[in-house]
Amino acid sequence: MKPLIIALALVLAAPLPASAHPRPPRDLRQLAEQTGVKIGSAVDIAALRAESDYRRVLNRQFNHVTAENAMKWESVEPQRGVFTWDDADTLVENARRNRQQVRGHTLVWHNQLPAWLTAGVEDGSIGATELRQILRDHITTQVRRYKGKIRAWDVVNEVVEEDGTMRQSIWLKHLGSGYIADAFRWAHRADPRAKLFINDYNLEWNAPKIETTLSLVKELQAQGVPIHGVGFQGHLGIQYDYPGDWANVMRRFADLGLEVAITELDVRMELPVTPEKLATQATYYSRAMTDCLSVRACRELTVWGFTDRHSWVPGWFDGEGAACLLDENLAPKPAYQALLTVKNPR
């Protein structure tokens, strides 16, 4: 063998220098770049406006954002026909300036509806025909306003109960189950390029909810309904076992041709905080990221707020909290570091 060929073979066979191997990501935005998984956070609009440190961390760390409340029905149409877009517009404009994509949350939900709507349905002044038109107008108006600016919409949110039955919301009671297909079709017409999701909690582990949601998706697909993804909210607690079959559940939906997203991840604990609890929390966050990375169709991991300063958890779960990646002072917790050290199999 010629000397030049031998030398070349030795060079190719030699291990790469340490500098040639990908370095661990320095922050969450670089983690997103390295893995191809969008890393997002729900956004508190008041904090975004008023707190420069909150705003700085949000815009440095995340390449995807969700309005925590600013796009919900009671926020955008508190009075019939009177729309208040300021908060939602603030989120979308901040995202544009900081190279962030946006998840729209949420078009149809049984919760946080404006009083004029629920009262009208309850007292009978809004009948089924009018209610359907109201729903159509709401979806069309909101999706059209942000056409081309929203990557994905949670079109219907939490439509399946814990026991696997369909939720008896005002929509199901007065419009029948067809409202779900209608909602997806209306949203698609308003913005044909947006990804359209069904989103739910406890879908990570609850067998009846999983089976019903799978059946619902298959039924929608059989009808030609434009549904593109499923969102796993991922509200976890360290006092409960981690949902160990989560990756396989993701695959079952991915096998239907759907995109998969973790849309509202947080990991709460019973207070007070201890180093041991923080260590356990870190494993839950890293396992969620690992599960997502193990499923090619998983394209997004969004946390439901990134700092304990503005977490929803203490207001809903008595004696629990500390659910986020950063503490009240925006100091990273072990969970933050755990995400950065997850091995990327992709």
pLDDT in tens, 216-260: 999 999 999 999 999 999 999 999 999 999 999 999 999 999 999
Length reported for the chain: 346
Whole-angstrom distance, CA of residue 183 vs CA of residue 67: 20
Active site residue 264: yes
Examine the pLDDT at 13 and tell me if it is beyond 60: no
Of the candidates 68, 158, 259, 264, the residue annotated as catalytic is: 264
Over the stretch 167-191, which tens digit does the pLDDT of each residue have?
999 999 999 999 999 999 999 999 9
pLDDT over 80 (residue 15)? no
Compute CA distances 341 → 77, 193, 281, 286, 304, whole Å. Answer: 43, 34, 15, 8, 21
Question: Hey, what amino acid is at 325?
Answer: L
- Say whether pLDDT at 107 is over 70: yes
Write down the CATH number for the domain with range 24-340: 3.20.20.80
**pTM (2 decimals)?**
0.93
Sequence ranges of the domains in the chain: 24-340
Rounded CA-CA distance 220/227 in Å is: 7
Q: pLDDT, tens digit, for every residue of 262-287?
A: 999 999 999 999 999 999 999 999 99
Q: What is the pLDDT of residue 10?
A: 35
**Model pLDDT, residue 6:** 37
| One-character DSSP codes across 235-291 | EEETTS---TTHHHHHHHHHTTT-EEEEEEEEEEEESSP-HHHHHHHHHHHHHHHHH
The pLDDT of residue 346: 87
pLDDT of residue 12: 34
14 pLDDT band, cuts 50/70/90, is very low
Instruction: Identify the pLDDT of residue 23.
Output: 83
Tokens of 274: 């201890």
| pLDDT surpasses 70 at 152 | yes
Structure token pair of residue 36: 């191809």
Answer yes or no: are the C-beta atoms of 38 and 66 closer than 8 Å.
no
Measure CA 221 to chain center.
22
Q: pLDDT (tens digit, 9 = 90+) per residue, 296-332? A: 999 999 999 999 999 999 999 999 999 999 999 999 9
pLDDT of 22 reads 66
